[in-house]
């Protein structure tokens, strides 16, 4: 292809990538080393607010931003180095916990609490998604041709449902007097409070993710299964290979690039888990790194938001994703080079 | 075809704006409002719309939208619905205008306690008060011969009796959802125990006896609550009441109307309200007073502000209150307090009275720190002292980032 043609095809996409991904990333990177604050002054304000029938007035000294002559808030931006990172990581409290021997207390510090859960979540759901996806793909591939369409449609449903709605529907099955909880209570004749138990909530969040993402793995694997070399399979049968041996030595090696692909996508997605926290209202029990960033960005009633800490937290999340992808990327790169 | 559709749309719009009925004047200027979405705001917005050319956006996420929408020039909305918590960013950024001259011109019907003054200037017009107070099942109390508790110690004793009698699933409900709700419970309880949030040097003074007692009272309450209290917000508690699962709760007055809503409540007429319990002897009821009301944007023309204020006065008139009496504890003339309003009135007129929720930047940061750190204590992952230390550290970090502390 001529370079000009190539450039014409790729150009728009490169432009979009720069505007919507590269530039924001650079801004977030810079912001994580900066703090922007309004210039504040302490003022004494008399505030009169209603009681019922009467009014109460209180005088209090409070800090207010200074407005310039156009009525805009004056701000100043300072470079603060790694201060925001330090504020997110809270290493001081981590060392305190370690030196006082209360290692479990690290789990109460937001970032480390989120990291612990995010890693468990990502690494435990990965094999389940791949395993379940492969199992469905094999089952559908071996199903009678006449019902295959219906089976594919039903298997894909969880993937089609909007993520938060999917999470909510599972929440409603289990939380409070949800149907499943009510059944379990009848069966075992006890009181079950799913949302009161951190580990139960954690399990539900993972269950939801596997339920939601396995169909994606299934579609990819099912497509891959159509390209398995039938001659190799037949010769394996003639050689007396069992069903399991055929899977282990013919089909899985053939699907390996797809398994790596699914693993890459899943690791990236699961490490950025967010909707589970919202759907299951798990903030008290379990939070994810992405939710932590969101929480820093949410303004409180007084309009304060921690943009610097949110930027630092976002950069840390990105670094985390790169680290977690490293082994797979290295493997792919080695295989790729070895192939030549 | 297109022309016809357009013409039709035009006619519809005309008809829409011609449908002013109970409004004293015909509004010609476009007026846009952004407010919260609970019942009282719906009633006010409907009454305002009768004047024509009014677009009201009722959105529970208003607090995240309002500061930037009002900072735009021209402002995206003319009228904002706020409370004493959410007025802070608008005051700080100077995006709302003083209303003294408008009040003088059109505010003849306003009661003096509706005028929210900052350093003498009227910055907002309040329409209702709200507070968390004790709601209880009068039928259960009567059946078991129980007195209405006036303190948290009595409330715990009463809860023990209700549990013993097995009258409901859980004797107590509370808005202890992680985040804003549980933070508000702590604010109530901490002030009720006589706590001061900040010292003279601006440093937090949360890790005190009042803090420990507040946390311990909250924990004692959770013993009598649905164990899933970490997802329990106002709507959750309201539904617990409506479905007859709880017997008492310190709940928002604005939720009172829902108890008597025959479409969703199984306890119509059985829920009564009393003053919020005290946390300590001789203290104020452990709650805060809130008001809801309107502000007018700074970045609009004076004509627009004029029209907006007149429309608001129509929306907040006696006629509206008489038609929607039970939606809120209105401050507007013509309001007849009903059975459920008695609790809020008893709370607000208690002696000493509970404080108003303070509208300061510091309070916003503290509230966030409470909401993030307290759940670990209530789920039993961390002790009281450690939690209070963590709150103070979290506050100092965010206050430094916001430029409030050096």
Half-sphere exposure of A35 (CA within 13 A, CB side): 22
Residues B209 and B68 in one domain: no
Q: Is residue A91 part of a domain?
A: no
Residues A15 and A132 in one domain: no
Mean pLDDT within B334-345: 90
Contact pairs from chain A to chain B, CB under 8 Å: 184
Domain count along chain B: 2
Nearest CB to A300: which of B84, B365, B393?
Answer: B365
Residue B79 β-bridge partners: B33, B296
DSSP strand pairing (A34-38 vs B115-118): unpaired
Answer yes or no: do A63 and B345 touch at CB < 8 A.
no
Judge whether B118 lies within some domain. Answer: yes
Instruction: Note the pLDDT tens digit of each residue in B289-322.
Output: 999 999 999 999 999 999 999 999 999 999 999 9
Of B63, B178, B368, the CB nearest to A284: B178
**Which residues, 6+ apart, have CB-to-CB distance to B383 below 8 Å?**
B377
Say if residue B170 is in the same domain as residue B73. Answer: no
Residue A309 within a domain: yes
* CA atoms lying within 13 Å on the CB side of residue B252: 23
Domain that holds residue A26: 1-31
B231:A60 CB<8 A: no
Mutation pick from A193, A201, A304, A306 vs chain B, by most beta carbons of B within 10 Å, is: A304
Task: Reduce the DSSP state of residue B21 to 3 states and report it.
Answer: coil
Residues A16 and A146 in one domain: no
B386 and chain A in contact, CB less than 8 A:
yes
State whether residue A196 sits within 8 Å of chain B by CB. yes
Is B227 in Cβ contact with A193 (below 8 Å)?
yes
CATH code where residue A235 lies: 1.10.3720.10
Is the same domain home to B303 and B380?
no
State the Cα–Cα distance between residues B291 and A216, nearest whole angstrom: 50
Closest C-alpha to B184, from B277, B289, B284: B289
Q: Answer whether residue A219 is part of any domain.
A: yes
| Pair B212, B245 in one domain | yes
In angstroms, rounded to a whole number, what is the distance separating the alpha carbons of residues B139 and B145?
10
**B353 → closest Cβ in A45, A56, A196:** A56
The pLDDT value recorded for residue A322 is: 93
Residue among B115, B227, B349 minimizing CB distance to A52: B349
pLDDT 10s digits, B186-208: 999 999 999 999 998 889 999 99
Mean pLDDT by 10 residues, chain A (340 residues): 89 94 94 91 85 79 83 87 93 89 86 95 96 93 85 88 89 89 89 87 94 94 91 89 89 92 94 92 92 92 89 95 92 75
In a domain, residue B272? The reply is yes
Residue B250: name the closest of B227, B261, B234, B269 by CA. B234
Q: What is the pLDDT of residue B293?
A: 95
Burial class for B64, CB neighbours closer than 10 Å (0-12, 13-18, 19+): middle
Quote the domain boundaries for residue B71.
Answer: 26-130+290-337
Residue B5 lies in a domain: no
User: Does A149 contact chain B (CB < 8 Å)?
Assistant: no
ipTM (interface predicted TM): 0.86
- How close is the nearest chain B Cα to the Cα of A42, in Å? 9
Segment 232-261 of chain A within 8 Å of chain B by CB: none
Q: Is residue B8 part of a domain?
A: no
| Integer Cα distance of B59 and A311 in angstroms | 28
Residue among A55, A73, A194 minimizing CB distance to B113: A55
Q: Judge: B129–A45 Cβ closer than 8 Å, yes or no.
A: no
Residue bearing tokens 């510091």: B362
Interface of A with B in 34-73 (CB under 8 A): 35, 37-40, 45-58, 60, 62-65, 67, 71, 73
Q: Provide the pLDDT for residue A164.
A: 86
In chain A, the number of structural domains is: 2
pLDDT at A68 (0 to 100): 83
Give the span between the Cα atoms of A306 and A84, in whole angstroms.
10
In chain B, residues with a C-beta closer than 8 Å to the C-beta of A57 are 117
CB pair distance less than 8 Å for A105 and B382: yes
Residue A42 lies in a domain: no
Q: Are A49 and B126 in contact (CB < 8 Å)?
A: yes
CA geometry: angle B375, A201, A269, nearest 5 deg:
105
B237 and B160 Cβ atoms separated by less than 8 Å: no
Residue of A nearest to B84 (CA): A49
Tell me, yes or no, whether A246 and A146 share the same domain: yes
Task: Specify if A71 maps to a domain.
Answer: no
Residue partners of A206: CB distance under 8 A and separation at least 6? A121, A124, A125, A128
**Over residues B133-142, mean pLDDT:** 95
Residue B1 belongs to a domain:
no
CA distance A21 to chain B (A): 24
**Nearest alpha carbon to residue B62 among B44, B87, B40, B39:** B87
Query: Using H for helix, E for strand and C for coil, what is the string for chain A?
Result: CCHHHHHHHHHHHHHHHHHHHHHHHHHHHHHCCEEEEECEEEEEEEEEEECCCCEEEEEEEEEEECECCCCCECEEEEECCCHHHHHHHCHHHHHHHHHCCCHHHHHHCHHHHHHHHHHHHHHHHHHHHHHHHHHHHHHHHHCCHHHHHHHHHHHHHHHHCCHHHHHHHHHHHHCCCCHHHHHHHHHHCCCCCHHHCHHHHHHHHHHHHHHHHHHHHHHHHHHHHCCCCHHHHHHHHHCCCCHHHHHHHHHHHHHHHHHHHHHHHHHHHHHCCCHHHHHCCCCCCCCCHHHHHHHHHCCCCCCCCCHHHHHHHHHHHHHHHHHHHHHHHHHHHHHHHHCC
Residues B155 and B105 in one domain: no
Q: Determine, for residues B116 and A39 on separate chains, whether the beta-carbon distance falls below 8 Å.
A: no
- With beta carbons less than 8 A apart as the criterion, state whether A199 and A282 touch: no
In this structure, are strands B121-137 and B329-330 parallel, antiparallel, or unpaired?
antiparallel
Please check whether residue B342 lies inside any domain of the structure: no
Q: Residue A109 phi/psi, 5° resolution?
A: -90, 125
Chain B partners within 8 Å of A110 (Cβ): 372
Residue B392: pLDDT above 90? Answer: yes
Closest CA to A310 of A296, A289, A290: A296
Phi, psi of A177, deg, nearest 5: -100, 45
Q: For residue B359, give how far its alpha carbon lies from the nearest alpha carbon of chain A (Å).
A: 7
Interface of A with B in 271-300 (CB under 8 A): 281, 283-285, 295, 298-300
> Which residue in chain A has the smallest CA separation from B391?
A109
Average pLDDT value over all residues in chain B:
89
Interface of B with A in 54-73 (CB under 8 A): 63-64, 67
Residue contact A195–B228, C-beta within 8 A = yes
Q: Which of B89, B356, B386 sits opposite A303 (nearest CB)?
A: B89
- B75: CATH: 3.40.190.10
B141 pLDDT above the threshold of 50: yes
Quote the pLDDT of residue B2. Answer: 44
Residue B10 lies in a domain: no
B176 plus B268 within the same structural domain: yes
The 8-class DSSP code of residue B117 comes to E
Query: B residues 136-195 near A, CB within 8 Å?
Result: 177-179, 182
Whether A51 sits inside 8 A of B85 (CB atoms) is no
Q: Report the alpha-carbon distance of residue A124 to residue A120 in Å, rounded.
A: 6
Strand partners for B135: B249, B273
When CB atoms are compared, the residue of A46, A285, A304 closest to B365 is A304
Tell me what pLDDT residue A340 has.
52
Nearest to A108 among B89, B182, B382 (CB): B382
Instruction: Note the pLDDT of residue B5.
Output: 46
Chain B residues close to A51, C-beta within 8 Å: 113, 129, 289, 348-349, 353
CB contact under 8 A, B359 and A71: no
**Domain match, B330 and B354 both:** no
Helix, strand, coil distribution of chain B in percent, nearest 5? 45, 15, 35
Q: What are B109's two structure tokens?
A: 């019907």
In a domain, B12, yes or no: no
B3 band by pLDDT with thresholds 50, 70 and 90: very low
Judged by a CB distance cut-off of 8 A, whether residue B367 touches chain A is: yes
The answer, yes or no, to whether residue B9 has pLDDT greater than 80, is no
């Amino acid at each position: 292809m001529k370079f000009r043609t190539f450039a014409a095809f790729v150009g728009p996409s490169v432009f979009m990538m720069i505007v919507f991904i590269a530039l924001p990333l650079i801004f977030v990177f810079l912001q994580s080393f900066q703090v922007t604050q309004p210039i504040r002054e302490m003022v004494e304000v008399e505030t009169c607010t209603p009681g019922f029938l009467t009014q109460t007035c209180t005088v209090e000294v409070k800090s207010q931003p200074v407005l310039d002559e156009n009525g805009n808030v004056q701000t100043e931006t300072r470079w603060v180095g790694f201060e925001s990172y330090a504020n997110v990581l809270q290493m001081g409290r981590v060392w305190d916990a370690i030196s006082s021997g209360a290692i479990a207390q690290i789990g109460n510090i937001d970032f480390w609490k989120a990291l612990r859960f995010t890693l468990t979540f990502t690494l435990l759901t990965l094999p389940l998604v791949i395993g379940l996806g492969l199992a469905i793909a094999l089952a559908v591939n071996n199903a009678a041709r006449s019902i295959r369409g219906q089976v594919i449609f039903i298997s894909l449903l969880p993937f089609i449902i909007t993520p938060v709605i999917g999470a909510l529907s599972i929440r409603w099955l289990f939380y409070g007097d949800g149907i499943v909880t009510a059944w379990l209570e009848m069966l075992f004749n006890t009181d079950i409070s799913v949302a009161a138990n951190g580990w139960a909530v954690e399990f539900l969040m993972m269950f939801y993710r596997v339920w939601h993402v396995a169909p994606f793995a299934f579609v990819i694997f099912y497509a891959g299964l159509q390209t398995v070399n039938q001659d190799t399979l037949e010769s394996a049968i003639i050689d007396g290979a069992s069903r399991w041996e055929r899977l282990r030595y013919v089909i899985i090696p053939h699907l390996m690039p797809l398994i790596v692909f699914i693993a890459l996508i899943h690791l990236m997605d699961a490490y950025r888990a967010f909707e589970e926290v919202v759907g299951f209202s798990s903030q008290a029990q379990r939070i994810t790194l992405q939710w932590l960033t969101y929480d820093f960005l949410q303004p409180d009633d007084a309009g304060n938001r921690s943009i610097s800490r949110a930027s630092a937290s976002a950069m840390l999340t990105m670094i985390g994703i790169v680290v977690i992808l490293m082994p797979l990327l290295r493997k792919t790169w080695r295989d790729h080079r070895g192939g030549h | 075809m297109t022309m016809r559709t357009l013409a039709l749309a035009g006619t519809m719009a005309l008809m829409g704006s011609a449908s002013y009925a109970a409004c004293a004047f015909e509004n010609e200027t476009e007026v846009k409002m952004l407010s919260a979405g609970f019942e009282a705001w719906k009633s006010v917005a409907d009454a305002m719309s009768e004047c024509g050319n009014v677009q009201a956006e009722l959105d529970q996420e208003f607090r995240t939208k309002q500061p930037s929408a009002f900072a735009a020039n021209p402002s995206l909305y003319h009228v904002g619905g706020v409370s004493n918590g959410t007025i802070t960013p608008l005051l700080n950024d100077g995006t709302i205008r003083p209303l003294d001259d408008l009040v003088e011109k059109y505010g003849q019907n306003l009661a003096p306690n509706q005028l929210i003054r900052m350093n003498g200037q009227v910055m907002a017009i309040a329409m209702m008060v709200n507070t968390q107070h004790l709601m209880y099942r009068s039928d259960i109390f009567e059946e078991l011969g129980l007195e209405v508790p006036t303190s948290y110690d009595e409330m715990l004793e009463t809860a023990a009796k209700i549990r013993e009698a097995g009258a409901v699933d859980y004797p107590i409900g509370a808005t202890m959802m992680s985040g804003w709700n549980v933070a508000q419970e702590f604010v109530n309880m901490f002030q009720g125990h006589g706590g001061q949030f900040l010292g003279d040097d601006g440093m937090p003074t949360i890790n005190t006896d009042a803090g420990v007692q507040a946390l311990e009272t909250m924990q004692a309450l959770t013993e009598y609550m649905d164990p899933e209290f970490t997802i329990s917000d106002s709507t959750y508690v309201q539904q617990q009441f409506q479905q007859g699962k709880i017997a008492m709760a310190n709940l928002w007055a604005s939720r009172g109307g829902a108890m008597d809503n025959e479409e969703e409540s199984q306890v119509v007429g059985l829920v009564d309200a009393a003053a919020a319990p005290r946390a300590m002897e001789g203290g104020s009821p452990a709650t805060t007073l809130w008001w809801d009301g309107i502000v007018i944007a700074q970045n609009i023309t004076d004509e627009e502000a004029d029209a907006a204020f007149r429309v608001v006065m129509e929306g907040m008139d006696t006629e509206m209150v008489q038609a929607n009496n039970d939606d809120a504890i209105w401050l507007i003339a013509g309001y007849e307090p009903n059975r459920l309003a008695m609790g809020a009135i008893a709370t607000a007129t208690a002696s000493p009275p509970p404080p108003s929720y303070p509208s300061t930047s510091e309070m916003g940061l503290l509230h966030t720190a409470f909401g993030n750190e307290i759940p670990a204590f209530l789920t039993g992952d961390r002790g009281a002292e450690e939690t209070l230390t963590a709150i103070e550290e979290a506050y100092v970090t965010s206050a430094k980032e916001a430029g409030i502390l050096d």
